[in-house]
Structure 1
Amino acid sequence: MKALILSDEINQFHWSMLKSVLLMLSILPLSQGIQHLWQTTEGSSQIMVGFFAISLMSSLFVLCFYSALKATVLELKTTEASSLEAYVVRIYRYIPMLSLAGMLSYLATQF
């Protein structure tokens, strides 16, 4: 039976993908916490919470987009990879951008 042994470059690529997707998944609990905080405050405090929420979420969206874009355009230098492995890696690199688009569309429908 043939064992699947990933090269070091593919292994690092995989971990960067996981970190990118986990960064995007952190958007959901953060947005729910900010929404709960905004609903429990009153009057002029909502303005401050809203400004804080917009600043925090926009910076998080920029970081998520940057990490997804970096994963999408990453060039791997594996010469011994078969055509099937190269095809799987080409598809796999779009997962962070797809998860970011899914998370943003979910949040857009919730608010």
Structure 2
Amino acid sequence: MLKLEIVVREEKVMEVVAALERCGYPAVTMYPVEGRGSQKGLVEQFRGRKYEIPFLPKIKLEVVIRDEDYERVVETIITAARTGEIGDGKIFACPIADAVRIRTGERKEVAL
């Protein structure tokens, strides 16, 4: 099993969640986060003044998937989240040793 940590633009969240659901993974955890990547924030002008925004709002999604679904799920996320502009986000994959459904005690992939 793998845990995917998916950081995307706020406006792409529902598209990514719908894509995960189509892949068979409707269970998603979502966090509002702020961060920056290679673009190092944003500089905007308003009424003749420059405003620096060092961290941009993003959404972090977490989902646990089966190892064999990794490539298919990642490609689906990329298709749903991509705008082609800097700041589209990142996907991080971490191995998961176990999962337990508290209600039933089911373990491993059955608990997903």
Q: Same fold (TM over 0.5)?
A: no
Give the TM-score category using the shorter length. Answer: under 0.3
Which entry has the higher C-alpha Rg, 1 or 2? Answer: 1
TM-score by length of 2: 0.27
TM-score by length of 1: 0.27
The structure carrying a bigger strand percent of its residues is 2
